[in-house]
Amino acid sequence: MVPDTSTAPTGPTTAHSPRPHLPNQHNTTTSTRPQPPVVPHRLLRQRQQLAEAGLSSDAISIALHPAAQTARTRAYSSIQDRFSTWCEERSIQATKAAAADIVNFLAEGRVHLHWEPSTILNYRSALLDMQDDPSRLTHSGAFSAFFTAIDRSALLSFDKSAPDISPILTSFRSLGPSATLSIPDLTRKLCWLLAVTGFMRPSDIARIDASRLAIHADHAYLIIVAPKELRRGRRIERPVHIHRHPDPLICPVDCLTAYKANILDIYPAAPATHPTAPHLKFTPLIHDQRRPFHGIGTQRISKHIQAIMSLITSSRRISGRSLGSDAASKHGVSLDEVLTQGFWSAAGVFDTHYRINRRSQTNLTTLALQAPSPHTSSHCCDD
């Protein structure tokens, strides 16, 4: 356990007590001491800070826009609830926790529950978000030392191999034309083809505006409303061009055409509220099979994609976005075109997070061991 070096804890910590368990769904231990509600407290604190800085009520309403607050609350609430329960068992005020309290909580998760470094870092953001004064923790030497050690313990492996997608393509061909497929098969096929050929996340597919879908002779044009990417800190609309494939049985444009005729034109969906920007409306492309006039969310689309991915053998879960962009790069598509289709702002994002194949297409051994021509002078120097 790491002692706090910046401030005294508000209650007993675990430094000198037996290791207690972290709360989970099987542990419903409660305390008679009520904890203040985390989210309202955080919003009240932020509003007070902005007011003290001189912002008007109109300016505060804009700064604390419900869209950003709703997304953050949804992402952080389960983590903050778990920490609050942990604090209750130790008579610690969760919103005024000492650096040692947070470090000890995360250290238990790392050692006894085998949390990955990425999980620890996500927890850090959520726990700092609920504190009255986060700066007193980030300035703590013990707090910084712990997270430096966590960062260094993370291993980023590039030992990956691209799976063979032949079983998927064989399955699509065996099912026949897209226009004759059942609604479940057509939906799964479309989600997978959009992810792979459009380099899209499930959340991107969930945010495609069907009202702006345009299908042309050689390509389809789609608009993703407010994807995760930002440009200069602002939300964007991401355009995607998907070209036709010569084989109609695996052609994403033909699949889109069939989906439009069998679903979109028959069951027009009403405009939906954007999942992270409630002030934005769009018409979902992918419909709920049980409620065909309604769209579905990211989780359901992800399940559709993974249902198709289950047809291939892979030692790790691979996204359609990664599978498609890596295959394009491997088959000679320029890096600029890959970045444009994936809407990546830098090559490093694609290389670090999405590239699978790292095998050179050139025989570098032959070139490295090639003797120089007798008529060619060479000047070499050691590094």
What CATH number is given to the structural domain containing 181?
1.10.443.10
Residue with tokens 């709360």: 23
CA distances from 135 to 45, 132, 173, 284, 346 (A): 14, 9, 58, 42, 31
Strand partners, 214: 221
| Predicted local confidence at residue 308, as pLDDT | 95
Query: How far apart, in whole angstroms, are the C-alpha atoms of residue 75 and residue 382?
Result: 52
62 vs 4, which has greater pLDDT?
A: 62
In a domain, 73, yes or no: yes
Q: Which domain holds residue 55?
A: 38-153
Task: Return the top range by mean pLDDT from 57-66, 191-200, 349-358.
Answer: 191-200
**Whole-structure pTM over 0.85, yes or no?**
no
Residues 253 and 329 reside in one and the same domain: yes
The answer for residues whose C-beta is within 8 angstroms of residue 353's C-beta and 6 or more apart is: 322
Task: Pick the last residue of a domain from 153, 178, 205.
Answer: 153
| Predicted local confidence at residue 237, as pLDDT | 95
| Predicted local confidence at residue 163, as pLDDT | 83
In a domain, 131, yes or no: yes
Beta strands 272-273 and 234-243: pairing type?
A: unpaired
* Least-confidence region, from 13-17, 101-105, 192-196: 13-17
- The CATH number assigned to the domain holding 144 equals 1.10.150.130
Three-class SS state of 44: helix
In a domain, 24, yes or no: no
Query: How far apart, in whole angstroms, are the C-alpha atoms of residue 314 and residue 161?
Result: 8
Q: What angle do CA 54, 60, 63 make, to 5 degrees?
A: 120
Would you say 264 and 257 are in contact if contact means Cβ atoms under 8 Å apart?
no
Residues 217 and 255 reside in one and the same domain: yes
Residues 216 and 341 reside in one and the same domain: yes
Residues 110 and 184 reside in one and the same domain: no
Crossing angle of helices 298-309 and 183-197, in 10° steps, is 90
Residues 143 and 206 reside in one and the same domain: no
pLDDT digits (tens, 9 = 90+) for 167-214: 999 999 999 999 999 999 999 999 999 999 999 999 999 999 999 999
* pLDDT band (50, 70, 90) for residue 101: very high
Helices (H), the chain: 38-52, 57-63, 66-88, 99-112, 117-129, 135-138, 141-153, 166-175, 183-197, 202-206, 252-259, 298-309, 320-330, 335-342, 347-353, 364-368
Q: What's the total number of domains in the chain?
A: 2
Residues 99 and 42 reside in one and the same domain: yes
**What is the C-alpha end-to-end distance of the chain, expressed in Å?**
45
Residue with tokens 């120097």: 381
The answer for residues whose C-beta is within 8 angstroms of residue 39's C-beta and 6 or more apart is: 73, 77, 80
pLDDT digits (tens, 9 = 90+) for 244-302: 999 999 999 999 999 999 999 999 988 999 988 888 999 999 999 999 999 999 999 99
**Considering the chain, what is the average pLDDT of its residues?**
83
41 vs 243, which has greater pLDDT?
A: 243
| Predicted local confidence at residue 25, as pLDDT | 43
H/E run at residue 198: none
Q: What angle do CA 44, 48, 49 make, to 5 degrees?
A: 120
Task: Pick the last residue of a domain from 153, 179, 207.
Answer: 153
Residues 323 and 192 reside in one and the same domain: yes
In a domain, 148, yes or no: yes
Query: How far apart, in whole angstroms, are the C-alpha atoms of residue 255 and residue 195?
Result: 13
In a domain, 297, yes or no: yes
Among residues of the chain, what percentage have pLDDT more than 70? 81
Residues 176 and 140 reside in one and the same domain: no
Distance of CA 52 to the CA centre of its chain: 35
Q: Residue 37: what are its φ and ψ, rounded to 5°?
A: -65, 130
Residues 275 and 304 reside in one and the same domain: yes
Residues 184 and 145 reside in one and the same domain: no
Residues 117 and 237 reside in one and the same domain: no
Of 133, 96, 126, nearest to 109 by C-alpha is: 126
Residues 108 and 249 reside in one and the same domain: no
In a domain, 95, yes or no: yes
> Is it the case that residue 131 has pLDDT exceeding 70?
yes
In a domain, 370, yes or no: no
Query: How far apart, in whole angstroms, are the C-alpha atoms of residue 348 and residue 332?
Result: 18
In a domain, 252, yes or no: yes
Of 326, 341, 303, 281, nearest to 158 by C-alpha is: 326
> Is it the case that residue 13 has pLDDT exceeding 70?
no
